[in-house]
Chain A
């Protein structure tokens, strides 16, 4: 109850004209930044930070918090409408969002689903943050290298749910993702790997241009190929605000995955170094284990809801270690932390007791930002979906420009553009031959984390495997891992056994 009181105090801080306006401005900027591929929340917050030095710290952090938060909404826009993920967590949104918008002709509902799910996931995350933030942060600390390594093993098995009909092809693309991820500096010793003497490759393949290429630019190549087959306008559905509303049935489909992912996402967000992208991946993969009305990947509402809810919940969850312990749960969190220090606040275990106004004001502003962003997003949806009725011959050059600008801006160099173009060709070839690119992206994200955690665990244990079974968390996760691995094997044996019985 004490927390509730403090939260109300936080709301009192937030509800001044100046702070609400700052929150609104942050939310709008966040939506724009999020919708722009290449400029994720990290860059958005980092670039806005110097401008806010002259503000008072509470107003500034409210604006930055809102920006970070709204960014998660914005990422879904370009993913659903253009098949270009606006930020990395939106990769999964594109899997179902784009088919739903184009093949099914329901772009309005796709965007609504994404935003509603974001709001639900975010709200769950924030309620948990309000009541259990510091406690959860302590639980997150228990996840050391060994625990993280086993958790990532479990996450890697979830790739199995994404591979589609042909397991061999799935394994091939997964391996490709791992190989590409291993290029660059060794995470522990800092020595270059597979860079072939090339300075650019020494830093590895940047994720954002890689994603824009394999998903977005591959799409452009495909569109150009299909140009002659298609009619002028791609979607003729009535693109009005009424026509883009969710039906009651849609809403019922959206709710369970959004709730599940809300809890899962919050927990992933709390873990050190995991973040919103991993949250979205896991949320989506977990949905595979539950029933969906349509198969995932074909434009299912459940698919959009599960990953969008998870990434917003993770964004909220990552504030727990930041506020309670001064540990950034994500890159964006690290920038915010830098900002706090510039304002003379010392983030750390004492922040809540030393500057309660500030800490609770920030949490209250997240609630506010969540609602404001939803309202703004719903307001712009009817206008945004008009993009889909633009003829292809105008869309292709526009999307290409967006791809190039987005990949350039990740590191302000043409290297990103080159990576984007090459991975676009790679993605096109893979799609053409019915290899799904999602497992590749997932393994590209998870493999480096798995590698560094396993190696750290081995350093600490001097090479003994026992460390992966030493703590309770490890043992439980290992059990889950083995159950997932062996279930199909046992099922197959059981099937054979049943089949064999009558004849024997």
Chain B
């Protein structure tokens, strides 16, 4: 009797573990499954918009949306925000499963999407694709953007350079002078985009990496930790991650790494061309979506239209763009393909890749 009870308990434990895992991976579907009910009511008013969509291909099964970074990061929030809008606005009536595939620094997930065979599955697969994904892919693998079908470009961001409370330089011009006279001025920031901007900026102000070194952190928040502790002199960050610290007076914007100044609390920061005889450094950080190389043209047309509607929704504008101080920059499939290819060419030329 006792033995039987014990066996039952083990079974329950195992089942609950399995169920737990199932529930875990399925949680996004649970969220989206509950939403169609609420969106059904809303779809009455949406009906005209839907009628405009090209009648033709429509998703007929679950959509797998792959994100190659971990849950909770910028790319993940971006993806889940769009997923949420698609469901609440009733743009997609199938379940969207967001799948975080982080193996191999994201290369495994990208390779898998790229290689999806033509057919139903390739029409139901999406991949979050940002400039920060493209750069390591070009550097470390043979994959190129032509291995994917760009679907849309959703937003563009730029960076700023900030100084901290412990920074001894009044502004960046003074720091450039100091670096030219042999003092080490240490910069910091995140990986990918930030490094590219840093390199471009060095080239522009005519310093070498040993005169003005750069410390790569895993994330922007790690880099901000370093500057708050006074371990680096300047930090490169996107506006969204830094505004709270600017407001609290712990970070001071010194350079806008864009073609023009920012507004609001960041308006004091001049562009690079304002502080000396330099060109502005403007490397756009973009967020987009691509599909497998073999996605059918009908499916591409459907998806690019869905993303257009997302970019026009109020929720996208207020809850995502405004909150993160991003610039809306919707591009359809053709424009996005041209943009991403041009970006790839620039980057490869700079890194000396073939």
Q: Does B323 contact A341, Cβ atoms closer than 8 Å?
A: yes
Q: Does A387 contact B17, Cβ atoms closer than 8 Å?
A: no
Q: Which chain B residues (200-234) contact chain A, with CB distance < 8 Å?
A: 210, 213-216, 218-219, 221-222, 224-226, 228-232
Q: Does A348 contact B105, Cβ atoms closer than 8 Å?
A: no
Q: Does A387 contact B10, Cβ atoms closer than 8 Å?
A: yes
Contact of B77 among A143, A325, A342 (CB under 8 A): A342
Q: Does B101 contact A189, Cβ atoms closer than 8 Å?
A: no
Q: Does A411 contact B103, Cβ atoms closer than 8 Å?
A: yes
Q: Which chain B residues (28-82) contact chain A, with CB distance < 8 Å?
A: 28, 30-31, 70-73, 76-77, 80
Q: Which of A174-182, A310-318, A394-402, A426-434 lies at the interface with chain B? A: A394-402
A201 at the B interface (CB under 8 A)? yes
Q: How far is the CA of A187 from the CA of B230 in the complex (A)?
A: 22
A8 at the B interface (CB under 8 A)? no
Q: Which chain B residues (14-34) contact chain A, with CB distance < 8 Å?
A: 14, 16-18, 20-21, 24-25, 27-28, 30-31
B245 at the A interface (CB under 8 A)? yes
Q: Which of B134-142, B149-157, B330-338 lies at the interface with chain A? A: B134-142
Q: Which residues of B contact A201 (CB under 8 A)?
A: 104
Q: How far is the CB of B243 from chain A (nearest CB, A)?
A: 8
Contact of B27 among A48, A185, A337, A402 (CB under 8 A): A48
Among B102, B224, B248, chain A packs the most CB atoms within 10 A around the CB of B248
Q: Which residues of A contact B231 (CB under 8 A)?
A: 144-146, 460
Q: Which of B1-9, B119-127, B302-310 lies at the interface with chain A? A: B1-9
A498 at the B interface (CB under 8 A)? no
Q: How far is the CA of A44 from the CA of B24 in the complex (A)?
A: 8
- Chain B residue with the shortest CB-CB distance to A143: B229
Q: Does A327 contact B9, Cβ atoms closer than 8 Å?
A: no
Q: Which chain A residues (394-425) contact chain B, with CB distance < 8 Å?
A: 394-395, 398, 401-402, 405, 408-409, 411-413, 415
- Chain A residue with the shortest CB-CB distance to B232: A460
- Chain A residue with the shortest CB-CB distance to B100: A412
Given A39-B21, A409-B21, A462-B210, A51 contacting B27 (CB threshold 8 A): yes
Given A188-B216, A203-B102, A36 contacting B245 (CB threshold 8 A): no
Q: How far is the CA of A115 from the CA of B167 in the complex (A)?
A: 46
B13 at the A interface (CB under 8 A)? yes
Q: How far is the CB of A354 from chain B (nearest CB, A)?
A: 10
Q: How far is the CA of A271 from the CA of B218 in the complex (A)?
A: 16
Q: How far is the CA of A482 from the CA of B13 in the complex (A)?
A: 49
Given A43-B71, A460-B213, A349 contacting B226 (CB threshold 8 A): no
Contact of A51 among B2, B31, B184 (CB under 8 A): B31
Q: How far is the CA of A338 from the CA of B140 in the complex (A)?
A: 29
Q: How far is the CB of A91 from chain B (nearest CB, A)?
A: 19
Q: Does B20 contact A33, Cβ atoms closer than 8 Å?
A: yes
Q: Does A187 contact B225, Cβ atoms closer than 8 Å?
A: no
Q: Which residues of A contact B244 (CB under 8 A)?
A: 326, 346-350
Q: How far is the CA of A187 from the CA of B222 in the complex (A)?
A: 13
A50 at the B interface (CB under 8 A)? yes
B281 at the A interface (CB under 8 A)? no
Q: Which chain B residues (72-100) contact chain A, with CB distance < 8 Å?
A: 72-73, 76-77, 80, 84, 99-100
Among B10, B14, B17, B221, chain A packs the most CB atoms within 10 A around the CB of B17
1/0 contact trace for A164-207 toward B, CB 8 Å? 00000000000000000000110111111000000111110010
Q: Does B140 contact A192, Cβ atoms closer than 8 Å?
A: yes
Q: How far is the CA of A143 from the CA of B231 in the complex (A)?
A: 9
Contact of A327 among B71, B106, B213, B224 (CB under 8 A): B224
Q: How far is the CA of A352 from the CA of B95 in the complex (A)?
A: 39
Q: Which chain B residues (230-281) contact chain A, with CB distance < 8 Å?
A: 230-232, 243-245, 247-248, 250
Given A39-B21, A386-B5, A46 contacting B72 (CB threshold 8 A): yes
Q: Which chain A residues (300-342) contact chain B, with CB distance < 8 Å?
A: 321, 325-328, 331, 334-335, 337-339, 341-342
Q: How far is the CA of A177 from the CA of B220 in the complex (A)?
A: 29
Q: How far is the CA of A81 from the CA of B106 in the complex (A)?
A: 35
Q: How far is the CB of B25 from chain A (nearest CB, A)?
A: 7
Q: Does A402 contact B14, Cβ atoms closer than 8 Å?
A: yes
Q: Does A462 contact B72, Cβ atoms closer than 8 Å?
A: no
Q: Does A383 contact B229, Cβ atoms closer than 8 Å?
A: no
Q: How far is the CB of B188 from chain A (nearest CB, A)?
A: 9
Given A142-B229, A412-B25, A338 contacting B72 (CB threshold 8 A): yes
Q: Chain B: interface residue count, which band?
A: 35 or more
Q: Which residues of B contact A51 (CB under 8 A)?
A: 27, 30-31
Q: Which residues of B contact A191 (CB under 8 A)?
A: 139-140
A390 at the B interface (CB under 8 A)? yes
Q: Which residues of B contact A328 (CB under 8 A)?
A: 221
Q: Does B221 contact A36, Cβ atoms closer than 8 Å?
A: no
Q: How far is the CB of A337 from chain B (nearest CB, A)?
A: 7
B171 at the A interface (CB under 8 A)? no
Q: How far is the CA of A341 from the CA of B73 in the complex (A)?
A: 12
Q: Which residues of B contact A476 (CB under 8 A)?
A: none
- Chain B residue with the shortest CB-CB distance to A413: B103
Q: How far is the CA of A45 from the CA of B70 in the complex (A)?
A: 12
Given A141-B225, A348-B244, A199 contacting B108 (CB threshold 8 A): yes
- Chain A residue with the shortest CB-CB distance to B217: A456
Q: How far is the CB of A457 from chain B (nearest CB, A)?
A: 9
A484 at the B interface (CB under 8 A)? no
Q: How far is the CA of A456 from the CA of B216 in the complex (A)?
A: 8
Q: Does A413 contact B101, Cβ atoms closer than 8 Å?
A: yes
A363 at the B interface (CB under 8 A)? no
B191 at the A interface (CB under 8 A)? yes
Q: How far is the CA of A184 from the CA of B213 in the complex (A)?
A: 24
Q: How far is the CA of A339 from the CA of B80 in the complex (A)?
A: 12
Q: Does B102 contact A145, Cβ atoms closer than 8 Å?
A: no
Q: Which residues of A contact B2 (CB under 8 A)?
A: 389
- Chain A residue with the shortest CB-CB distance to B228: A141
Q: Which residues of B contact A32 (CB under 8 A)?
A: 16, 20
Given A202-B107, A203-B108, A390 contacting B221 (CB threshold 8 A): no
Q: How far is the CA of A398 from the CA of B14 in the complex (A)?
A: 7
Q: Which residues of B contact A39 (CB under 8 A)?
A: 20-21, 24
Q: How far is the CB of A238 from chain B (nearest CB, A)?
A: 12
Q: How far is the CA of A38 from the CA of B11 in the complex (A)?
A: 19
Q: How far is the CB of B80 from chain A (nearest CB, A)?
A: 6
Q: How far is the CA of A494 from the CA of B73 in the complex (A)?
A: 55
Q: Which residues of A contact B216 (CB under 8 A)?
A: 187-190
Q: How far is the CB of A152 from chain B (nearest CB, A)?
A: 15
Ordered nearest first, which 6 A-B pairs have the shortest CB separation? Answer: A348-B244, A144-B231, A46-B71, A335-B72, A141-B229, A349-B248
Give 24 pairs: A residue, B residue, CB < 8 Å, sorted on A.
Answer: A39-B21, A43-B24, A49-B71, A141-B228, A142-B229, A144-B226, A145-B226, A187-B216, A190-B192, A200-B103, A200-B104, A201-B104, A328-B221, A335-B71, A349-B250, A387-B6, A390-B3, A391-B3, A394-B10, A412-B101, A415-B103, A456-B215, A460-B231, A462-B210
Given contacts A203-B108, A386-B6, A456-B215, 7 further A-B contacts (CB under 8 A): A50-B84, A187-B216, A189-B216, A203-B102, A203-B103, A338-B77, A412-B100
